[in-house]
Structure 1
């Protein structure tokens, strides 16, 4: 078990939720200060080193130029900094796990840089870091991720449960998270975490996280795994109070549904890159919220597990190699991400938020999902889509009467 996974396991044994920021600074001194502040927060934490946008898309020449010219970057350019510099950032933080977050469809340089710096934990996936963020062909992303994962002995977190940030029905998020974890396992990775992003309904989210845990237990029984929840990734509340409540609700959701780790968001999320202090405040607030609830094994069954199971089984039946299976599944439309414009996505699936706040299918294309799951009366106009996109922010920014 990696140091990162061991820290999460220790916290779980103590009944504590691990909380984590999405923080990255270009300056090694600032990055080090941020990691120290997160380590010293009044919460059980792990650290994050989030890379900049140039590094994410593989434009390392531009990242180097920005460092040379003193231009402001929105993250830590781990490939451009010498490994010795990054080791200096981590010096004295012994025993404090740090994850590298990047967003790249071609992670090979990032994997090389983090390994050279003595780090062993990162995240992403061949689908989740290609379809929403890149125009690269999916086959290239699968090949690059295969090469990066082969021989990697650290911890890998899927990003599949966060596809598009919002308006992706939970069953598809669960299935993609499991499928990317199966891809990692096929390439020899023995320690994984499976992501799920908070959506529009707490009850539906709890059902989805329990479905994710059930499928992980079935398909990943021979590797170490845990579930990580992401605080809502769509249009975020603009008020400080609304943002804080949404973040705290994500912490409560994680505990009730049996997740072990939470990626937080801050009160500044809708406006700018948050400060170190704002990140620490979000961590501490989420930790307090998590301590106010306990695990609840009971959930309503509205079919999320059945849908996710059908998707996973249909894909894995296509090939013994999950990468090959994923490519075939997207080619045939067996996986189809709503509102995703990537050329390798079929683009026939659609979703909406119903009157109860639950994400529903309005069209499933060729995916193996029962017709009874499709709401044929869903609104199909742009006004309905905009309302759905802004629903969570509006509810949290509107004072209760």
Structure 2
């Protein structure tokens, strides 16, 4: 097995000033936009958005910036760019064939700079993040930096399992190189979001999501990045989700001291409600969860998600709907965000997973590889060759996600009748749990009793 990449002598950490010299730290435009909103007590809302044509991409970003909400923009890359097939991306552009995102490398840095001109500036407080899904982000990182951007997302685990067939060791190596490039070129200021809290989107108990997000944050810090966000995807139980977000914040404070960290919540990523009222109900619930939990940023979905790719207008409406729901929800004082205790034990289980992994090797990349090789990390229902795929999650009677089987992981699995293997029909039923719960017709308004003698 190829050993993970080791940083050279030119890393940001190695170039720290000697003696008492103090250099001002540059700040990511993306992180600055989120921090400005946090100081104002506002939730930042962000769409999933990517168009192949630069003029259409610019139109989408302008509409997002003009929304009645505190927003940041997204440029989602196409699938050819994600897998490094830039020749096919260029060929598609030349022939007019459809692409499912923005081909950053095919367009080149000059075209992207022109597309972004006047959009990203300190005066407006608007910033843009590149989102891609690649197990090898080096070329994408170089291109986004050349284009004048400073924020992206992913991770050596979360963009390898389940999105890629790339061996985990190769992904760890590639992400180490990408992180180091991002840190070097930005002076350590660039912002990187772990996608670890969104693995598979559903039926993964929160303790593993929290642990992977935190471990990827440690990986990013290891390679010189100090501006980090940790993700978590809305699951099946609002109470359990709130506990998971509190646990994530607690672990970030304990394991990432000195880093600039914020949390990002994703509106539910599994089977989405098919009705408009159901989709809006779920979207509002995610915004309310974000506000109650003190989350700084929310990635939204639209009522069109179950049917097709949403339009720019539908994205803007979703942003405004989420922002409105968040404004109506009280945000907590910092003292009420502690993840200790809790009905579901998310913090204790996540901390055990983290400590188990970092105890495997001094290097976090090596530790991650060993953890998956031994099944000490195991993503339920993930078919990647480097994943043991012995762990199983299920929805219990409270509507929370629990372990039906933990494989070799140090987690508490169900026993008795709840611990038996899932049947295929039960799994399908659980996959539709959130959709059904939100697609039910709203409760009818209660009618006042009729006065005596009325017909």
Question: Given the two structures, how large is their TM-score scaled by the length of structure 2?
Answer: 0.86
Q: Name structure 2 gaps, 5 residues minimum.
A: 1-26, 183-187, 444-455
Out of 303, 320, 323, the residue aligned to residue 345 of structure 2 is 303
Which residue of the partner structure matches residue 94 of structure 2?
68
Which residue of the partner structure matches residue 270 of structure 1?
306
Deviation at 1:400, TM superposition (A): 3.7
Which residue of the partner structure matches residue 164 of structure 1?
200
String of CA shifts for 1:213-264, please: whole Å, max 9, x gaps.
Answer: 0000001111100000000000011111111111111111011112100000
Which residue of the partner structure matches residue 408 of structure 2?
366
CA distance in 2: counterparts of 1:328 and 1:379, whole angstroms? 27
Query: Contact 2:41 / 2:331 at 8 angstroms: preserved in 1?
Result: no
Out of 356, 360, 379, the residue aligned to residue 337 of structure 1 is 379
Determine if the alignment matches structure 1 residue 391 to structure 2 residue 421.
Answer: no
Number of aligned residue pairs: give it.
401
Q: 5 Å matches for 1:139-218?
A: 139-152=169-182, 153=188, 154-218=190-254
Larger mean CA deviation between 350-359 and 26-35 belongs to: 350-359
CA distance in 2: counterparts of 1:237 and 1:244, whole angstroms? 9
CA distance in 2: counterparts of 1:399 and 1:132, whole angstroms? 34
- Aligned with 1:183: secondary structure? helix
- Aligned with 2:403: secondary structure? strand
Which residue of the partner structure matches residue 122 of structure 1?
152
String of CA shifts for 1:326-368, please: whole Å, max 9, x gaps.
Answer: 0010011110000000010011100111122100100001111
Which residue of the partner structure matches residue 380 of structure 1?
422
Out of 303, 318, 328, the residue aligned to residue 282 of structure 1 is 318
Deviation at 1:151, TM superposition (A): 3.6
CA distance in 2: counterparts of 1:43 and 1:295, whole angstroms? 16
Deviation at 1:82, TM superposition (A): 1.5
Q: Indicate how the Cα distance of structure 1 residues 113 and 311 shifts in structure 2: closer, same or farther if over 3 A, else same.
A: same
Query: Higher Cα Rg: structure 1 or 2?
Result: 2
CA distance in 2: counterparts of 1:354 and 1:391, whole angstroms? 11
CA distance in 2: counterparts of 1:374 and 1:270, whole angstroms? 36
Question: Given the two structures, how large is their TM-score scaled by the length of structure 1?
Answer: 0.97
CA distance in 2: counterparts of 1:322 and 1:252, whole angstroms? 35
Out of 260, 276, 301, the residue aligned to residue 240 of structure 1 is 276
CA distance in 2: counterparts of 1:317 and 1:309, whole angstroms? 12
Deviation at 1:369, TM superposition (A): 1.6
CA distance in 1: counterparts of 2:354 and 2:78, whole angstroms? 33
Deviation at 1:129, TM superposition (A): 0.4
